[in-house]
Structure 1
């Protein structure tokens, strides 16, 4: 049984190396390099869990490694990240801090996490105006709040 599990893990690693893509729906980090199919729910869950357990997202974001591409202009990467992490991001914005909010702040190219967190927290109801707000709407609202409050330094 151990040999089968090790074989599966080795196969996954080889597949991940061969298929490594840029930003994944499960976030970036070790999990996105091991589980590359962002459209597969199982891969998303396994990738996000691996990212959380390994705790290397911050390093990946700051170094641009582990499928973490900094996209200061936003682009689709921010919307994909928001969609994949909507609940956690909503909770973090409500608190004005948290790992998901810090990752997104970095993706926007901001370095003043406290100013961004505070501005977004104060504008929570604007950002999440409806329960079913789309990722693109949330992204645009966040951009507008950051710009209006000059929070991105």
Structure 2
């Protein structure tokens, strides 16, 4: 029985993570399990939102921390792009320009007005962003520290 429960939990975790972008930012589940990390809190938050229907209700009526003007987004494209183009991105970031850096800006939805600052920031913070294997997390931290670029940190 324990093996069945464990398998069911793993299956639910996989499907809920595919359907939910780390639970989202609204609904009872995201509020009850806010700040917790790992598979179990994500599965429990997604299950709470899914079984009670509160996230759908919240988005429809603007309750439970949900808004009606939100944009559906996914950070998996950005993470995959960074992982697949790490060397080329590092080369472009070091130069402060290049087609891979431009492509990253497009994938992340960086406004054209912010792209020069985006490229300059990656050049200036090259050692931080590309200092270890955690390029996506490092980039997220660097962008979050910049008042104008912080909005893009949520897209990683």
TM-score (norm 2): 0.45
Return the structure number with greater relative CO, CA threshold 8 A, min gap 6. 1
Larger Rg: 2
Using the size of structure 1 for normalisation, the TM-score is: 0.46
